[in-house]
Amino acid sequence: MISVEQARERILAGLRPTAAEIVPLASAWGRVCAAAMASRLTQPPRDVSAMDGYALRAADGTLGARLRVAGSAPAGHPWDGTLGAGEALRIFTGSIIPDGADAILLQEDATRDGDGVTVNEAVTAGRHIRRAGQDFATGDVLVPAGKRLGARDIGLIAAGNHPWVAVHRQPRVAILATGDEIALPGEPIPPGGIVSSNSHALAALVRAGGGDPVVLPVAPDDRDAIAAAADAAAGADILVTTGGASVGEHDLVQDALAARGMTLDFWKIAMRPGKPLMHGTLGGVPMLGLPGNPVSSLVTAILFLLPAIARLSGLPGAPPAVTHAGLGAALAANDHRADHLRARLEPGADGALVATAFERQDSAMLRLLTLADALILRPPHAPAAPAGATVPIIRLDTLGI
């Protein structure tokens, strides 16, 4: 058995980011930028006013002075002339400061009458002027490659005058559930059967991670059927199977895929839930065999599949973010397997987070997992921890899972 960290490292080592594709800016939110986006313009393009008011020569803007209003320059309608001594130009936020002017008289500090304006507050040269290129200049990198595009990035790329963006193709994740007992939701359930929940939960998790799920038909517990189903994964960036990862009489996935040429890297991780986790390559497609029970399947997907999708997407592929919380109740010492306790999070008396593990940690209880706000991470051989001790956690409430 290998450790969680070793397993993640070995899974990620076999993955390369997908190639780039071109998408319209309006479809690029949430995608990962594949090439640095450099600005095509300078913003602001010239010195502009930060306020509504009048542009003038600083020397003219003394208290009580009266200037001739030479014109007006609303946004989008720049004034072409050069401002002379004793003149002022009516301007608005964003208006280009005309040649000759170097100061702004604020609207609220001015009295306008006819084509004249009186200065009620002396001006300061350069004040309320935004300099050309203050935000960015032509050629500046606005968004680096490898960043997941948020709304602000989309705005910035637009401001840099790009209608198209090169992004990494969303990783195609083929999902294969196996088992004679599996029925699709809403279909008749055979005697002793259960409804396929793993494939659909995993498909949603793939979406949460920014991937493109492909749910394959359920394969019965039959070597040939499993092997044939796995062929459908050709062209996927990763194949994920659920169930059949441990070696038992009815755990055929390993056998079936090995006969099809699967190269097996490892299949046991010192963790709970989810010890039997298979990793290998099948026909050049990386393959992750998750355990069949719903809690183990989702927990291992959080620990291994989400980072894999991140790596395939062109992101650093870091493990899920680990934060900390105080323990709401004591925990016993751990054995040799890294444990991932389903827990509730609440704000404590001092506002800091308190994590309390559910009393029942049965890995078949999907409903309980759904009620969990976090996983408490218990490393191998962690000593007993009293209430109040600080423990590492993975928050589940912000991952879309």
Residues 314-343 within binding reach of a second copy (CB under 8 A): 324
HSE, side-chain direction, 13 A CA sphere, residue 62: 5
Find the shortest distance in angstroms from Cβ 268 to a second copy. Answer: 15
Out of 162, 168, 311, 340, point to the residue binding a second copy (CB under 8 A): 162
Task: Rank residues 196 and 313 by Cβ distance to a second copy and give the closer one.
Answer: 196
The Cα 35–Cα 143 span in angstroms is 9
- Site membership for a second copy, residue 355 (CB under 8 A): no
**Footprint on residues 22-61 left by a second copy (CB under 8 A):** 25-26, 28-30, 41, 43-45, 50, 52
Task: Rank residues 26 and 387 by Cβ distance to a second copy and give the closer one.
Answer: 26
The secondary structure element, H or E, covering residue 239 is strand 238-242
Find the shortest distance in angstroms from Cβ 98 to a second copy. Answer: 11
- Site membership for a second copy, residue 78 (CB under 8 A): yes
Out of 3, 42, 134, 281, point to the residue binding a second copy (CB under 8 A): 134
- Site membership for a second copy, residue 93 (CB under 8 A): yes
Task: Rank residues 220 and 283 by Cβ distance to a second copy and give the closer one.
Answer: 220
Other beta carbons less than 10 A from residue 1's beta carbon: 13
- Site membership for a second copy, residue 189 (CB under 8 A): yes
Find the shortest distance in angstroms from Cβ 220 to a second copy. Answer: 8
Nearest to 107 by CA among 93, 96, 86: 93
Do the beta carbons of residue 38 and residue 142 sit within 8 Å?
A: yes
Which range touches a second copy (CB under 8 A), out of 114-122, 267-275, 326-334, 358-366?
358-366
Nearest to 11 by CA among 226, 269, 205: 269
Out of 61, 274, 294, 328, point to the residue binding a second copy (CB under 8 A): 294
Out of 11, 69, 70, 136, point to the residue binding a second copy (CB under 8 A): 136
Do the beta carbons of residue 255 and residue 261 sit within 8 Å?
A: no
Find the shortest distance in angstroms from Cβ 285 to a second copy. Answer: 22
Find the shortest distance in angstroms from Cβ 227 to a second copy. Answer: 19
Residues 6+ apart with CB under 8 A from 271: 4, 277, 300, 303, 337, 338, 339, 340
Which range touches a second copy (CB under 8 A), out of 61-69, 115-123, 183-191, 263-271?
183-191
- Site membership for a second copy, residue 190 (CB under 8 A): yes
Out of 1, 75, 318, 389, point to the residue binding a second copy (CB under 8 A): 75
Find the shortest distance in angstroms from Cβ 226 to a second copy. Answer: 14
Encoded tokens for 29: 């939110």
Find the shortest distance in angstroms from Cβ 213 to a second copy. Answer: 8
Nearest to 219 by CA among 286, 285, 289: 289
**Footprint on residues 213-272 left by a second copy (CB under 8 A):** 215, 221, 248-250
Out of 6, 111, 161, 263, point to the residue binding a second copy (CB under 8 A): 161
Residues 6+ apart with CB under 8 A from 374: 325, 343, 344, 345, 355, 393, 394, 395, 396, 397
Task: Rank residues 13 and 113 by Cβ distance to a second copy and give the closer one.
Answer: 113
Q: Please say whether the dihedral angle defined by the alpha carbons of residues 4, 6, 7 and 8, taken in this order, is positive or negative.
A: positive
Out of 9, 224, 231, 362, point to the residue binding a second copy (CB under 8 A): 362
Task: Rank residues 87 and 221 by Cβ distance to a second copy and give the closer one.
Answer: 221
Residues in the chain: 401
Task: Rank residues 140 and 265 by Cβ distance to a second copy and give the closer one.
Answer: 140
Instruction: Please write down the HEC assignment for all residues of 272-339.
Output: ECCCEEEEEEECCEEEEEECCCHHHHHHHHHHHHHHHHHHHCCCCCCCCCCEEEEECCCECCCCCCEE
Do the beta carbons of residue 176 and residue 282 sit within 8 Å?
A: no
